[in-house]
Amino acid sequence: MVDPAVPDYQLAAFLMAVVLRGLTDRETTGLLEAMVDSGDRIDLSPVGRPVADKHSTGGVGDKTTLVVAPLVAAAGTPVAKLSGRGLGHTGGTLDKLESIPGFRVDLSIPELVSQVAEHGIAVAAQTADIVPADKRLYALRDVTATVQSIPLIATSIMSKKIAAGASRLVLDVKVGEGAFMEDLDSARALSQAMMRLGDAARLPTTCMLSSMDEPLGCAVGNALEVAEAVATLEGRGPAEFTELCLVAAGLMLGDRTAADEALRSGRALAAYREWISAQGGDPDAALPEAPDVTDVRADRSGVVACCHSRGIADAAMRLGAGRARKEDAVDHAVGIVVHRKRGDRVEAGDVLATVHSRGPADDDAVRASFELVDGGVERGPAVLEITSAGT
Ligand code: URA
């Protein structure tokens, strides 16, 4: 598949055939192995201990890695992660990290391995040598409407995780309007497919399913999300986001109590600071700030039925927080902080969200993302389901 002699039109025909006909488990495993073998595999054995990795299928306001990696490292398990940039309405961890002055995401593989060994955490950009087949296939999927296929998504994600060399993996599969998988059944099917692939590659994999109907936490936008991640490590984060991070860290460690203790003791915050400094960043430097800060207020009273993640993400993207095309630059300072979420009561005139912008805020689009009803709304759990192999 990575042989340039194979023309794009044949690959595109293959991808469409997979979308229409699916793949058997054996075919999916075969595709996975071919994809992993298309490039390099990272050897993390010099770290001398099992290394954990996590992956989210992509969400709005998803700064989980910035909290979970320090929680896990502080509890004694090193974390190595290759990450991506944001595209469309979902943000990328690399863009968030790059809002920290000095932070370098372009580590070479030897640098990544030695940083994990010495400091317990490294998060770096995916290199061209890791699963080049995915790079080619994903670019074609993007332009041929063949992204939405469980075997293609599962092999794309798992090939990169297997090549990245960790020895245990937690996948946060997002469900809902801001996610690839819009309903619970498809999210379960994707989870099962990825766990089967993890099993075939001897990479123990656990999936947690979490809702993406609303943004994760309150902040959406790169520097704003870093600030929220730090607040969470200081014990001042939004309750449901803190819980999601502790669940993920507990699964990566196989010990939820150790994750709680890493947060309570402040050791996770210390691990974050060590990691940021090791990667060239200054954890004490001021983050970029947008010049215009505008409160968006409710025009009626009621109870929030949903703060729609898609509406908030699209508004944040129009402010410049995300990119519509791969080559676009992002503005690290801009974004939206939501103050009300599902189940919260609001009075007319209450602040629903704060927009950080350069120029006028799109108040109406932000206000329209809040669905207000007269009552009867309950907040859902931070994590909907957890599935490990065999359950
Ligand atoms: N993330 C990936 O890396 N690949 C997909 O196909 C979908 C989400």
pLDDT in tens, 184-238: 999 999 999 999 999 999 999 999 999 999 999 999 999 999 999 999 999 999 9
pLDDT in tens, 308-342: 999 999 999 999 998 877 788 899 999 999 999 99
Average pLDDT over every residue of 44-67: 95
4 pLDDT band, cuts 50/70/90, is confident
Residue 341 bears catalytic tag: no
Burial 127-145 (b: 16+ CB within 10 A, else e): beebbbbbbbbeebbeebe
Q: Which two tokens stand for residue 111?
A: 């640098």
96 pLDDT band, cuts 50/70/90, is very high
pLDDT given for residue 3 in this prediction: 79
CB 156 less than 6 A from any atom of ligand 1: yes
End-to-end CA gap in the chain? 34
Report the distance separating Cα 146 and Cα 138, nearest Å: 9
8 Å CB contact between 354 and 294: yes
Residue 134 bears catalytic tag: yes
Residue 81 bears catalytic tag: no
> Domains in the chain and their CATH numbers?
8-283 (3.40.1030.10), 292-373 (3.90.1170.30)
65 pLDDT band, cuts 50/70/90, is very high
Pocket test for ligand 1, best of 126, 138, 181, 194 (most atoms within 8 A of CB): 138
pLDDT given for residue 171 in this prediction: 98
pLDDT given for residue 85 in this prediction: 77
Work out whether the CA dihedral 15, 19, 23, 25 comes out positive or negative: positive
pLDDT given for residue 269 in this prediction: 98
Average pLDDT over every residue of 11-26: 96
Q: Which of 48-52, 80-84, 97-101, 349-353 has the lowest mean pLDDT?
A: 80-84
For the cut 70, the answer to whether the pLDDT of residue 364 exceeds it is: yes
Residue 63 bears catalytic tag: no
Q: Which residue's C-alpha comes closest to atom 7 of ligand 1?
A: 153
DSSP line for 245-261: HHHHHHHHHT-HHHHHH
Average pLDDT over every residue of 287-314: 96
pLDDT in tens, 262-277: 999 999 999 999 999 9
Alpha carbon of 253 to ligand 1 centroid (Å) = 25
CB 47 less than 6 A from any atom of ligand 1: no
Going by the DSSP 8-state scheme, the letter that residue 382 receives in this structure is S
Candidates 85, 96, 136, 160; catalytic one: 160
CB 355 less than 6 A from any atom of ligand 1: no
pTM: 0.95
